Structure 1
Amino acid sequence: MKKTIIAGVVLALGVAGSIYYKETGNSQGARSKPRTTPSVVVTQVATESMRREVEALGTVKARESVVLSVKVTEKVEAVHFDDGQRVEAGTLLLTLRDGEQQAKLSAARANLLEQQREFNRIKDLVQAQTIASSELDRLSTSVDVAKATLAQYQAELDARYLRAPFAGVLGFRQVSPGTLVTPGTEVTTLDDIQVVKLDFPVPERFLARLAPGRRVLASAAAFPDRVFTGTVASVDSRVDPVTRSVVVRANIDNPDLALRPGMLMTLKLITEQRDTLVVPEEAIIPLQQRHYLFVVSADNRIEQRQVEVGLRTRGKAEILSGVEAGETVVTRGMMKVRPGQQVTTRGGERFSVQGAE
């Protein structure tokens, strides 16, 4: 019995000694291990241009567009244009047969000359009091009728010539010489696309930000590497009660005629733009309704600053107050530092590749 007790006491003393030695060793190792200064990634507060954007899809329309047709029923005498031709205002496009109208016009001119000669002859006789003045009134009326007849035949002749009402680009030719055309028959189309209109819907919640003169940046699938710049020309007077959106119209210069009516474009409407202080969005530390930045002082110590955040874009945030341009803020490593702590800084992340020599 005594031997058993003695053996238990010896075993307990051995376990206690082992634990004491282990704890003592750990404590000494902890005291001997130096504390390292944390390293953080930083950037400087910069002044950049920030803008508020509204993204939308729009449809291109010609500034002026018309389907050209004739006013009378007649056969085509000659076609004076080609498909896709650029023309100026007043360019002759189509001639209809006009022989009958030419003859009527010549007869009307001759009749007007005859009536004017007779009027001048009678006028002299009236002044000599040889003929009553009532005869002069009758001839004056005949001259007016002859002028009206001449104007009528001139209009009928002009209707046999189709001219471009404005400068633009013609579409496909739909008639040939000898074709019998009637009023409403489509001859071709004419589009003025030196400047195009871009119509796009904007949700009604942005209505207060819409105004003529706002800048628009648009792109088309046909030209993926090109950005077309335009300005808002007008805003529709009504909001669609179904989609709760309002249509905005912008004008885009198109000197090389790259944009065509009917094209779909993706666009950004710039509703607000200004130069301001900007930091990476990842540097902002949100805490309830407040926002903070970790600022690195001149002696590499962390200082916590409350800031006011304004506009936000992809990866960037505007700082309205709390820091100055040129100050250094922490963008990575915020979780391992605290205010007042000294740190080492670097401009970017360092990634190592295992096995690299």
Structure 2
Amino acid sequence: MKKAFVIVIIGLLIVFGGIFGFKAFVNSKIAEAMAHMPKPVVTVSAATAEIAHWHPQLRAVASLAAVQGVDVTPQIAGNVTAIHFRSGQYVQAGTPLVQIDDSTQLAQLASDQAQLRLASSNLHRTQELIATKAASQAQLDSAQATYQTDQAAIKDIQATLNKLTIRAPFSGYLGIRQVNVGQYLTPGTKIVDLQSWSPLYANFTLPQSDLQNIQAGTPVQIQTDALPGQTFSGKVTALGSAVNSTTRQIEVQATIDNPKNQLRPGLFGELTVVRDTTEKVLVIPVSAISYNTYGDYVYIIHQEKKDGKTQETAMQQVIKPGKQRDGMVEILSGLKQGDRIVTAGQVKLVNGSLVTISHDA
């Protein structure tokens, strides 16, 4: 029994040894054949690392605000008797917007005007009498005081009437109407918002380290996803008086031109502060950079001669990228001016791949 078990084990070893030996033989022949096969040539697109002159830029997220913007509200309580505007309408400064019931004040004005006419007559009569010494100075003083008091009462009621006719405090665009005829309004009730759209303020913050690079008059540009592809220009008009002690940021305000009224208060966008100086930077297309867990890299194209023939190979090169702008990226280290790098087709490459440059890409 023991002898039969040993024979079976030996037989299995022979069988499996033959199988693995055959596979090893086949693999060695395949490797030998592959070693004699020419390397495949990968078609790629290429570009040259070159020097560009960039204006140093500071970037921030900015919020747009109206130079003049307000919620129109009443100062005196009362019922709305008339509405003189439409939602979204452009109005000039002083345009009547809403009329609040002024019937009581108009009646009071008529009474005060009658009192003023009487006081005026009494004053005139007293002045004539005092000229003939038929009235005393005390009577004249009393008549003048009554006349002036009645004048003041009319001015007071006229001021109240002016407040009951709510007008646009400045020219601009109205928002959505919030009130209706017959509605009772109390002081502070929002009637409509009024905003001026041109120009607009852009409010943003910058780190304290950038304070030396910005001042009133520094040009800025802003883009917003509400109007993709469009850039609006302006200038810095004010800086905060102090750096925030918690965030170490300083508040900055720029004024943005909005000639076609495309921008709206409340929008936010990416703002760029453009400095007057320029700097030389080494740049390549952003599409040339590949990424992995070990860092960013590109494929540099090298020329070499082999067997009397010139061939081009792609070799990986670790780089340190910097700022990006208009599809180009600054290279801080890893490349030099004139290096040719692969911009398309990297996914088909390995270190040392033979390449040919496509001039159609």
Same fold (TM over 0.5): yes
Distance 1:254 1:107 in 2: 51
Distance 1:107 1:128 in 2: 32
Opposite residue 274 of structure 2, the aligned amino acid is I
For residue 234 of structure 2, the aligned residue among 230, 235, 239 is 230
Q: Secondary structure at 1:183's aligned position in 2?
A: coil
Post-superposition CA distance 1:130-178 (Å, at most 9, x none): 2222211110000111011111111221221110111111111111111
Post-superposition CA distance 1:204-236 (Å, at most 9, x none): 101111210000011010111110001001111
> What is the aligned partner in structure 2 of residue 75 from structure 1?
79
Q: Secondary structure at 2:275's aligned position in 1?
A: strand
Structure 2 residue 273 is the aligned partner of structure 1 residue 242: no
Runs of 4+ residues deviating >6 angstroms: 41-45
Aligned residue runs from structure 1 range 6-155, under 5 A: 50-155=54-159
> What is the aligned partner in structure 1 of residue 225 from structure 2?
221
Post-superposition CA distance 1:298-333 (Å, at most 9, x none): xxxxxxxxxxxxx9985679xxxxxxxxxxx96137
Opposite residue 97 of structure 1, the aligned amino acid is D
For residue 332 of structure 1, the aligned residue among 336, 339, 356 is 339
What residue ranges of structure 1 are gaps of 5+ in the alignment? 1-40, 283-310, 318-328, 334-349
> What is the aligned partner in structure 2 of residue 170 from structure 1?
174
Distance 1:100 1:174 in 2: 25
Change (3 A) 1:279 1:134: closer
| Residues 53 and 281, structure 2, Cα contact 8 Å, conserved in 1 | no
Cα offset, 1:243, TM superposition = 2.2
> What is the aligned partner in structure 2 of residue 290 from structure 1?
none
Give the superposed CA RMSD.
2.9
Distance 1:43 1:260 in 2: 41
Change (3 A) 1:139 1:236: same
Opposite residue 124 of structure 1, the aligned amino acid is E
Cα offset, 1:199, TM superposition = 0.6
Change (3 A) 1:165 1:51: same
> What is the aligned partner in structure 2 of residue 254 from structure 1?
258
Cα offset, 1:259, TM superposition = 1.2
Distance 2:79 2:223 in 1: 45
Cα offset, 1:117, TM superposition = 1.7
Percentage of pairs with the same residue: 27
Change (3 A) 1:43 1:95: closer
| Residues 94 and 169, structure 2, Cα contact 8 Å, conserved in 1 | yes
| Residues 49 and 273, structure 1, Cα contact 8 Å, conserved in 2 | no
Q: Secondary structure at 2:97's aligned position in 1?
A: strand
Opposite residue 332 of structure 1, the aligned amino acid is D
Distance 2:270 2:191 in 1: 33
For residue 159 of structure 1, the aligned residue among 139, 163, 168 is 163
Post-superposition CA distance 1:39-86 (Å, at most 9, x none): xx99998xx864111011111111111111112221110111111111
| Residues 217 and 237, structure 2, Cα contact 8 Å, conserved in 1 | yes
| Residues 73 and 191, structure 2, Cα contact 8 Å, conserved in 1 | yes
What residue ranges of structure 2 are gaps of 5+ in the alignment? 1-46, 285-322, 341-354
Change (3 A) 1:196 1:108: same
Distance 2:212 2:260 in 1: 34
Change (3 A) 1:52 1:138: same
> What is the aligned partner in structure 2 of residue 264 from structure 1?
268
Q: Secondary structure at 2:202's aligned position in 1?
A: strand
Opposite residue 258 of structure 2, the aligned amino acid is N
Aligned length: 256
Cα offset, 1:245, TM superposition = 1.2
Distance 1:139 1:89 in 2: 41
TM-score between the two structures when normalised by the length of structure 1: 0.65
Cα offset, 1:353, TM superposition = 5.4
| Residues 79 and 93, structure 1, Cα contact 8 Å, conserved in 2 | yes
> What is the aligned partner in structure 1 of residue 311 from structure 2?
none
Distance 2:263 2:237 in 1: 18
| Residues 76 and 181, structure 1, Cα contact 8 Å, conserved in 2 | yes
> What is the aligned partner in structure 1 of residue 346 from structure 2?
none
Distance 2:50 2:98 in 1: 69
Change (3 A) 1:50 1:279: closer
Distance 1:180 1:42 in 2: 73
Structure 2 residue 202 is the aligned partner of structure 1 residue 198: yes
Cα offset, 1:124, TM superposition = 1.5
